[in-house]
Structure 1
Amino acid sequence: MDKVKVLEKYLPAGAAPLVARWIDYFKCEFKISRNRNSKFGDYRPPFQGKGHRISVNHNLNPYAFLVTTVHEFAHLHTWNQHKNLIKPHGNEWKANFKKMMQPFFEQQVFPPDVTFAITAYLNNPAASSCSDLNLYRTLRKYDNNATAVTTVEKIPLKAVFKIKDGRIFRKEEQLRKRFRCTEISTKRIYLFSPVAEVELVDVA
């Protein structure tokens, strides 16, 4: 099946042809992956006879899928220029991310709030894309189930919640960017991202 047609199922309108050209130009193995809770996408440099490899989670909304795709291709482009001699999300990567995002800005592929969030992120050298909560929250608004998702920041203080592996915690105070939470069974303290997805537990 033509790769543009496949990519069109996951990307915003108009974005697939350029991504398909990148795959060919960089001779990259591009895989649409199963959902991974720990990451949206992944880049692997050439190793033991294998070329560049990029994978992006299949369940991302089109805007998140495109941002993740550009993020990973910027890693590829930066590796071609500098190999492993620089920081993964350093200024070189940021410059490539910005440059590779530009055609999609020009096509007005993104809604205004996503464009604004990406631009703000790129203007903040201290933030990595993985930890930029404003960009993450903005992209999540376009998920099909956005209103149904419960995150740590949405639940009240002292609320009890469960995570995907079944462990149960109580939400405590916020410490800088994360929330201090106590595991009920062990009394151990863990720090949770505000946007970590959880399930409220009724303790009444």
Structure 2
Amino acid sequence: MQDYSAQLRKYMPAAAAPIISRWINDSRCVFRISRGRSSKFGDYRPPQNGHGHRISVNHNLNPFAFLITSVHEFAHLKTWNAYKNRVKPHGEEWKANFRQLMQPFIRSGVFPDDVQVAIVKYMDNPAASSCTDLHLFRVLRQYDTGPEKTHTVEQLPPNTYFALKNGRVFQKMEKIRKRYRCIEVKTQRLYLFSPIAEVIVLKEQALS
């Protein structure tokens, strides 16, 4: 049995590393630290084509987001072992497993108070991704470190120009219910953005 704790401590709270290391060994899972991906924080792939369970988690997440994402993916693994592909990916079975797997970290106090409160509330109805829970996402984002290369749409002043990673440029307009109306500069088409969509700020300009 290999101990992965030392490597895992680089990415998650130290007290959580031995537990995740044990899960990796018990499940015989290939656990990979992935490059940063804008489309997802982590990924689970079930056994197929001669491969066993495979989990990847983005390397650039803060320690608490990395741990929550790891638990999210192990909940997929546990659900697959019990039900294979006979249940929905984020159905009640996955939600129950996520809640169960989170318990040792909730009890041990590895999270700061604000994250602890947010994750406990999130567990009432876990979603496909922690970033779909606005409160949890906002709390976790406070612990991000390193150069601030992106902002969320809700942080931008009205009329700010911003870009997506694919190069498309938009201007932020007004808020409509829970989303922001934005206009694509090139096509003049209107789009609705989630308040926590991560974008690259370009400039501000008042509407004429």
Give the structure-1-normalised TM-score: 0.92
AA matched with 2:120: T
Asked if 2 retains the 8 angstrom alpha-carbon contact of 1:121 and 1:129, the reply is no
Q: How does 1:13-24 map to 2 (within 5 A)?
A: 13-24=14-25
Q: For residues 80 and 16 of structure 2, what CA distance do their matches in structure 1 show?
A: 23
After TM superposition, give the deviation of residue 170 of structure 1 in Å.
1.1
Q: For residues 182 and 45 of structure 2, what CA distance do their matches in structure 1 show?
A: 34
AA matched with 2:111: F
After TM superposition, give the deviation of residue 129 of structure 1 in Å.
2.9
After TM superposition, give the deviation of residue 97 of structure 1 in Å.
0.6
Given the superposition, is the C-alpha separation of residues 175 and 124 from structure 1 closer, same or farther in structure 2, using an over 3 Å criterion?
A: farther
Given the superposition, is the C-alpha separation of residues 136 and 146 from structure 1 closer, same or farther in structure 2, using an over 3 Å criterion?
A: farther
Q: For residues 101 and 147 of structure 2, what CA distance do their matches in structure 1 show?
A: 28
Q: CA RMSD in A?
A: 1.9
My pick for the range that moved more, 194-203 or 182-191, is 194-203
Q: For residues 43 and 33 of structure 1, what CA distance do their matches in structure 2 show?
A: 12
Q: For residues 30 and 162 of structure 2, what CA distance do their matches in structure 1 show?
A: 39
Mapped pair 1:154 → 2:135: no
Q: For residues 67 and 84 of structure 1, what CA distance do their matches in structure 2 show?
A: 23
1:102-154, Cα deviation, whole Å (9 max, x unpaired): 011111101111111111111136x4434111111111110114877421101
Gaps of 5+ in 2: none
Percent identity of paired positions between Structure 1 and Structure 2: 58
Aligned residue for 2:203, secondary structure, equals coil
Q: For residues 11 and 138 of structure 2, what CA distance do their matches in structure 1 show?
A: 19
- What residue in structure 2 maps to residue 172 of structure 1? 173
1:183-202, Cα deviation, whole Å (9 max, x unpaired): 00111222222112223323
After TM superposition, give the deviation of residue 88 of structure 1 in Å.
1.2
Q: For residues 137 and 113 of structure 2, what CA distance do their matches in structure 1 show?
A: 15
Q: For residues 200 and 6 of structure 1, what CA distance do their matches in structure 2 show?
A: 34
- What residue in structure 2 maps to residue 143 of structure 1? 144
Q: For residues 201 and 54 of structure 1, what CA distance do their matches in structure 2 show?
A: 35
- What residue in structure 1 maps to residue 53 of structure 2? 52
Aligned residue for 1:200, secondary structure, equals strand
Give the structure-2-normalised TM-score: 0.90
- What residue in structure 1 maps to residue 164 of structure 2? 163
- What residue in structure 2 maps to residue 188 of structure 1? 189
Q: For residues 177 and 24 of structure 2, what CA distance do their matches in structure 1 show?
A: 40
Asked if 2 retains the 8 angstrom alpha-carbon contact of 1:140 and 1:146, the reply is no
Aligned residue for 2:191, secondary structure, equals strand
AA matched with 2:194: S
Q: How does 1:3-82 map to 2 (within 5 A)?
A: 3-82=4-83
After TM superposition, give the deviation of residue 28 of structure 1 in Å.
0.4
After TM superposition, give the deviation of residue 164 of structure 1 in Å.
2.0
